Structure 1
Amino acid sequence: MRNLFMKVTYDGTHYFGFQTQPEGNTVQDMLEQAIAHLTGETVKITASGRTDAGVHAYGQPFNFETASQIPLERWCLALNARLPEDIVVTEAYEVPLSFHSRRAAKRKTYRYTINGNRFPDPFQLRYQFHHPVALDVPAMEEGLKKLIGTYDYTSFASRKSTKTSHVRTIFSAHMEIDRSMCRPDSSDQGVIHTYITGSGFLQHMVRIIMGTLIQVGEGKRKPEDITGILAACNRAAAGPTAMAKGLALWNVSYEDPGEQAGVTGSKKL
């Protein structure tokens, strides 16, 4: 058997998230069907984590075991020929059988994108939350900093969360503004990207953080309110859940898969 580790980029607009659901139509379903079509095997892939319905990903890692002897360099093109055009496998490695995409993940980064220009960008409607009214971005940045650290993030978790512990660590968080599409002499604020890197995230955690920060930007809350919201450990204390389409899994960090398992020379495409 071989253990293959891959990365997939996808537009989540038309899917019920990454992980298989009773309703079907998930990114995992599409990948497993493509692998079955290619190899004749029924496999169950293991991903670094899940994404919600409508959320996107740039390089979502996953792995699976296969008896197929298809050369590594052929996997990406072969799978992409069998996948919908909004799902693209971009990398393939051969790793030790002990490697597990979720357990081995060290850090995950999500990016949330707000279009703060007066008018939406029709070419980015699937990937941006449009907010035409001015936001106090410095206040949002101040509030964001108060979330960095190790805390119980119950206030920022879905009420449906089944995790036994809501303690997580946010290592870093910052905002960047792209003003390249702002109209001259206008009230356009640009496209506001928020990057949050943590040890792991609870269901809807980043979206609830963003919904709360948007309220800070609107003047409905103060940056210092974030401290009290964290301490409350109560979902009702935080703001609304921001729209899924603005969120993307941006990066997942690992040690070298081969070195981690005490084996060197893992192959990569």
Structure 2
Amino acid sequence: MVKNILLKIGYDGTNFHGFQYQENLRNIESEVKKAIHKVTNENNRIIAAGRTDAGVHAYAQYVNFLTATNINPRAFKFHIEPYLPDDIISLESKEVDLGFHARFSAKSKTYQYVIFRDKIMHPIHRNYMEQITYPLDLDKLQKGLDILKGEHDFKAFMRIDKDLEINTIRSIEDAYFIENESRLEIYFKANSFLHNQVRIMSGALIELARGKLSLDDFRNFFDSKNTKKANPALSASGLYLWSIDYE
């Protein structure tokens, strides 16, 4: 009997060229697929909730796959774990409906961006945070986050691909920040995001908070006549796929 297994994983993206398969480049998809094959001895196709870029981390990423094995669905996480490299962890597994799709069944995704604000950052943190030491007006940062909430055309906040024509309308369900000692953690929740959108939104918010942009400048990114791109895109090191909601 065929079962549809939903597997929750986490990973340190530092030494990966992103989630998606790329020939001759280390990627998370290949590592996970190899580990599942070791357990099932099947050529399982895996479907991911999303594709993180090179250097991006995940506290919670989900993949689903079909299998005819008799392994208890909740035990897959234990069987798969020994075959994963030490920068990927298998966290949970369970059976879901055959029609479940890790990407299209997701109701929302939350990304976290982490900024280290002290002048001296220990080198052990360099692959996991963006260091920004400028004085920041956090009230302006919050006002920028409030502007981002809701449905907008985010074409000014995406990486440009001349060969790609897509709908750039997105809806931000929630956007907020938390101060955690020397860290500034910014969170964005939406059904989906454009390529590099979170890193560019984070960069534009920092420009706003340090006084390089006014609130009117920030609002103008959503003006239908605007041709100016938001920038910069902050580094991948500070970005985390934080959570995915299916209900």
2 CA distance for matches of 1:235 and 1:78?
Answer: 52
CA distance in 2, matches of 1:44, 1:163: 27
1:151 Cα deviation from its structure 2 partner: 0.9
Answer whether contact 2:220 2:226 (CA < 8 A) is retained: no
Number of the residue aligned with 1:253: 245
Contact 1:156 1:235 in 2 (8 A): no
Question: What aligned pairs does 1:226-245 form with structure 2 within 5 A after superposition?
Answer: 226-231=218-223, 236-245=228-237
In structure 1, what is the Cα distance between the partners aligned to 2:82 and 2:227? 43
The CA deviation at 1:232 is: 5.0
How does the TM-score come out when normalised to structure 1?
0.86
Give distance in 1, aligned partners of 2:189 and 2:31: 28
Q: TM-score scaled by structure 2?
A: 0.94
Query: Which residue does the alignment assign to 1:51?
Result: 52
Identify the residue that residue 20 of structure 1 maps to in structure 2: 21
1:151 aligns with 152
How far off its partner does 1:234 sit?
A: 6.1
Q: Check the 8 A contact 2:64/2:101 in 1, yes or no.
A: yes
CA contact (8 A) 1:154 1:234 kept: no
Q: Which secondary structure state, in structure 2, belongs to the residue aligned with residue 3 of structure 1?
A: strand
Select which of 173, 190, 196 maps to 2:188: 196
The residue number in structure 2 matching 1:212 is 204
2:41 is the counterpart of 1:29: no
| Percent of residue pairs identical | 35
Shift of 1:24: 3.4
* Distance (Å, rounded) in 2 between the aligned partners of 1:247 and 1:235: 26
Q: 1:165 maps to what in 2?
A: 167
Q: Which amino acid aligns with 2:92?
A: E
> What is the CA deviation profile of residues 74-131 of structure 1, one whole-angstrom value per residue up to 9, with x for unaligned ones?
3112211001111001010101111111111011100000001121133322211011
CA distance in 2, matches of 1:244, 1:233: 30
- Give structure 1 stretches of 5+ with no counterpart: 180-189, 256-269
Q: Tell me how far 1:235 sits from its aligned partner.
A: 7.0
**Counterparts in 2 of 1:85-164, with a 5 A limit?**
85-160=86-161, 162=164, 164=166
Task: State the secondary structure of the residue aligned to 1:230.
Answer: coil
One-letter code aligned to 2:72: P
**TM-aligned CA deviation for residue 26 of structure 1:** 1.1
Q: Provide the aligned C-alpha RMSD in A.
A: 1.6
- Residues 1:163 and 1:50: Cα distance change in structure 2 (over 3 Å): farther
**How many residue pairs get matched?**
245
The gaps in structure 2 that reach 5 residues or longer are none
Q: What amino acid is the match of 1:134?
A: P
